[in-house]
Structure 1
Amino acid sequence: MRGDDLLARTQVRTVTIGFNLESPFREDPVLQAADQGVRAKQLLEEHGFQVQGARLCTQPFPEYVGGLETGDVLNYFRALQTVLGRSSIYACGIGPIRASHWDAERRFVDLLPELLAQNPSLAATIDVLDDAGRPHDLACRAAAEVTLAASRISADGTANLHFAALASCPPNTPFFPAAYHSGGRSGLSVGLQSAAMVQRAFKKDVGLDDAEDILTEMLSGYCTALEGAVQEVAGELGLEYLGIDLSPAPGKEASIADAVEQLSKKPVGEPGTLSVLRLITNALARVPVKRCGYSGLMIPVLEDVGLALRNVEGYFDIPSLLSYSSVCGTGLDTIPIPGDSDPEVVAALIRDVASLSAKLHKPLSARLFPIPGLRAGEITNFRHRVLVNTAVMGLSLRRTR
């Protein structure tokens, strides 16, 4: 693929509007935020940027439904889903149940599978760090149970696109399902889909000593122009500018694995992978714009064609991916695991992600995909606009394939 073709594939993955909800439910704030999202997308496109879509997010949902009974909570979110169905916005993050507020908010855990099943536009999370920044065991166990329950909502387990366990993830993250609003003034953040730009930076004649500077320069040029446009759009719409999540999200047509391999000259998972991931993350940190969210490197196995292939070939496992999170971004993202996974083992894996986040003081999450009916080593069979097929990954270190 030619370099200018790769650059043409760089785009804004999401324009995310953060806004506040309250009880009783009122549709006006939702419609206003949806209109702002649609308009922000249009205005950025008029500035010459490709924009994939617009999304919404609210403050953590226990803050505005905390006084409601169980049935009323479900009715509240059915009403929200109905309003979203009349708009051009396909997704709304309702924020986390928080381990730091566990006694007050734990009652909502059992509602999450039903809430996700009834409302396909909504995304929800559990923040598993307590108020001292430590992994909260009950919250990790709850997140594991919701992950497994959500996998049974559909035959292929795809409902977990809309659920994750969070650790140290700040408000105003534009990417889903982690997105939630700070609770202040309504605001605008954007997330990138820029794996193609990383590929372009790491063209064949680029060496390790020069790659970081080249990538930093390319990202800085694009992102400073984008920031100016986003600030202008936010001002026009009366929104606070919240920042850019610089994470170079991949797409089906641009793989972060391919970019890494262009520089390392080896398959992802071989020695040298971690150092290239660190190099990319360092470049992101040097881009002179207001950052938000993860602003690190994503390794989503089910959303990246190159990663999916290397997984089938057996080049990495879950502990490898967790080790890569020490130098890059989101943690364990879209990881296919056996459908009959032990809840205790899933909880332990979530606890490991949270522990790494707590130690390194960085935002990480665990978005795991138990695949109904499949065991480690078997191949998924998704027919989905985002997900690609790969091998189910084992939760045990004992080799299964």
Structure 2
Amino acid sequence: MKIRTITTGISLQSATETAKIKQAAEFNQQAQKIFTQQGYTVQTTRITTNSWEEYLAGLSPREIIKQIQAIEQLCQNLDVSFFNIGDTSQPANIALIADINQQTSLIFCSSKIADSETGINFENIQASAKLIQRISQETENGYGNFRFCTWANCQPGIPFFPTSYHRGQTAFAIGLECCDLVMQAFSQAENLQIAEIKLQEILETELQKIAAIAQTISGQFAIEYQGIDTSLAPSLDKNHSIVFAYEKLMHGKFGQSGTLAISGMLTRVLKSVSIKTCGYSGLMLPVCEDIGLATRANEQTYNITNLLLYSAVCGCGLDTVPIPGDITTDKLAAILTDLATLALKLNKPLSARLFPIPHKKAGEMTNFNSPYLVDCRIFAVD
């Protein structure tokens, strides 16, 4: 098991509060050191903030971009590779994200399209659909959408990007990559029921260890510990793909009968561990971040509708899903509306990180030049 991220959240009142950013960076370095000394691999450390609409309020679009570029330069000086400026919920600001994205390289952000208090925001859905389309056209291979997502019903404290945003006092959370534990449990099981029991036992043991270290760090540095997002973050290692773990229990391939049942079981376990949890704490199925998901996408054993179905009983929505570059804004908006409807109906957090691939159609291969993504066939959109 690896620690995918230690994410520290800070609240800014202006972009000039560089001391808070420096303190968060220093804390992340110390926390990473402590976990490493305990034998864990920490893949990334990250910083996330409250909504940039709050600490950049009143500025012109040009000045907003200038201030965000200054934050990015500071991050580069501090060796911070992942910085999230939080969410936006104003259509004009959603449109501005395209320029922010184009003129930065390590800044992540998101837009809100629905929550349980205000319902679905159709204006934001249209603005987000236009933004996804524009980013795809203005960045190489549409890769800029890796740093943007739109979400429904997501709370602060999610350690995973781009959905992450923060409220309140400085705090940190842990995100894991533990598909290897799922593979271990499923390899020892004869059926779904035994797999659930074994996975529960393994996760309880391993997550308690991480939680204990995190609590110690919290006390040592007087920074609030928000918990572990138990979500099964994906792996580019074929030996630890969540898909191949599924198939230890199936009489077929991921996407075929039995996939929904395993997805539901995984979520039950992830939400029942007796530690402090935060964020999604569900099952992630990001197509281009897991070699097994990409492999089965190439074989067309599942589609976008399947992914939404699995989200009903498990995870995080539609993540790193490649779609045709000529998709219309209306079709993008329809997908986002479906996702928002599902999130509100089931009272769960869901997000969408969609990749329209310029000049390519369904069935063609993506061509990402990224250490974070694996190439696969582009999904059809009905």
What does 1:58-77 align with in structure 2 at a 5 Å threshold?
58-77=49-68
Report the counterpart of residue 363 of structure 1 in structure 2.
349
Deviates more, 1:295-304 or 1:121-130: 121-130
SS at match of 2:313: coil
Aligned residue among 214, 218, 237 for 2:202: 218
Alpha carbon RMSD of aligned pairs, Å? 1.2
Unaligned runs of 5+ in 1: 1-9, 99-104, 397-401
Aligned residue among 238, 243, 254 for 1:268: 254
Report the counterpart of residue 185 of structure 2 in structure 1.
201
Report the counterpart of residue 39 of structure 2 in structure 1.
48
What does 1:326-337 align with in structure 2 at a 5 Å threshold?
326-337=312-323
1:387 aligns with 2:378: no
What does 1:136-285 align with in structure 2 at a 5 Å threshold?
136-182=121-167, 184-203=168-187, 205-253=189-237, 254-285=240-271
Q: Distance in 2 between matches of 1:299 and 1:172?
A: 20
Report the counterpart of residue 102 of structure 1 in structure 2.
none
Q: Deviations over 1:226-259 (max 9, x none)?
A: 0010111122222100110000111111211111
Q: Deviations over 1:140-161 (max 9, x none)?
A: 1111111111112322111111
TM-score by length of 1: 0.92
Unaligned runs of 5+ in 2: none
Q: Distance in 2 between matches of 1:116 and 1:235?
A: 37
Q: Distance in 1 between matches of 2:376 and 2:80?
A: 30
SS at match of 2:137: coil
Q: How far has the Cα of 1:38 moved from its partner?
A: 1.3
TM-score by length of 2: 0.97
Deviates more, 1:195-204 or 1:51-60: 195-204
Q: Distance in 1 between matches of 2:372 and 2:283?
A: 18
Q: How far has the Cα of 1:107 moved from its partner?
A: 2.5
Deviates more, 1:292-301 or 1:22-31: 22-31
Please tell me whether the aligned partners of residues 116 and 153 of structure 2 are also in contact (alpha carbons under 8 angstroms): no
Q: How far has the Cα of 1:111 moved from its partner?
A: 1.1
AA paired with 2:332?
V
Q: How far has the Cα of 1:131 moved from its partner?
A: 6.5
Q: How far has the Cα of 1:204 moved from its partner?
A: 5.3
Please tell me whether the aligned partners of residues 38 and 88 of structure 1 are also in contact (alpha carbons under 8 angstroms): no
SS at match of 1:181: coil
Q: Distance in 2 between matches of 1:181 and 1:224?
A: 25
Please tell me whether the aligned partners of residues 204 and 262 of structure 1 are also in contact (alpha carbons under 8 angstroms): no
Please tell me whether the aligned partners of residues 190 and 244 of structure 1 are also in contact (alpha carbons under 8 angstroms): yes
Please tell me whether the aligned partners of residues 125 and 165 of structure 1 are also in contact (alpha carbons under 8 angstroms): yes
Q: Distance in 2 between matches of 1:274 and 1:349?
A: 20
What does 1:107-126 align with in structure 2 at a 5 Å threshold?
107-126=92-111
Q: Distance in 1 between matches of 2:322 and 2:149?
A: 13
Aligned residue among 89, 93, 96 for 2:84: 93
Distance change in 2, residues 1:34/1:153 (3 Å): farther
Q: Deviations over 1:328-373 (max 9, x none)?
A: 1110010000111101100110110010000000010010001111
Query: Percent same amino acid among aligned pairs?
Result: 35
Q: Deviations over 1:251-310 (max 9, x none)?
A: 111211111111123101111110011111111111111111110001111111111111
Q: How far has the Cα of 1:205 moved from its partner?
A: 4.3
Q: Distance in 2 between matches of 1:24 and 1:369?
A: 30
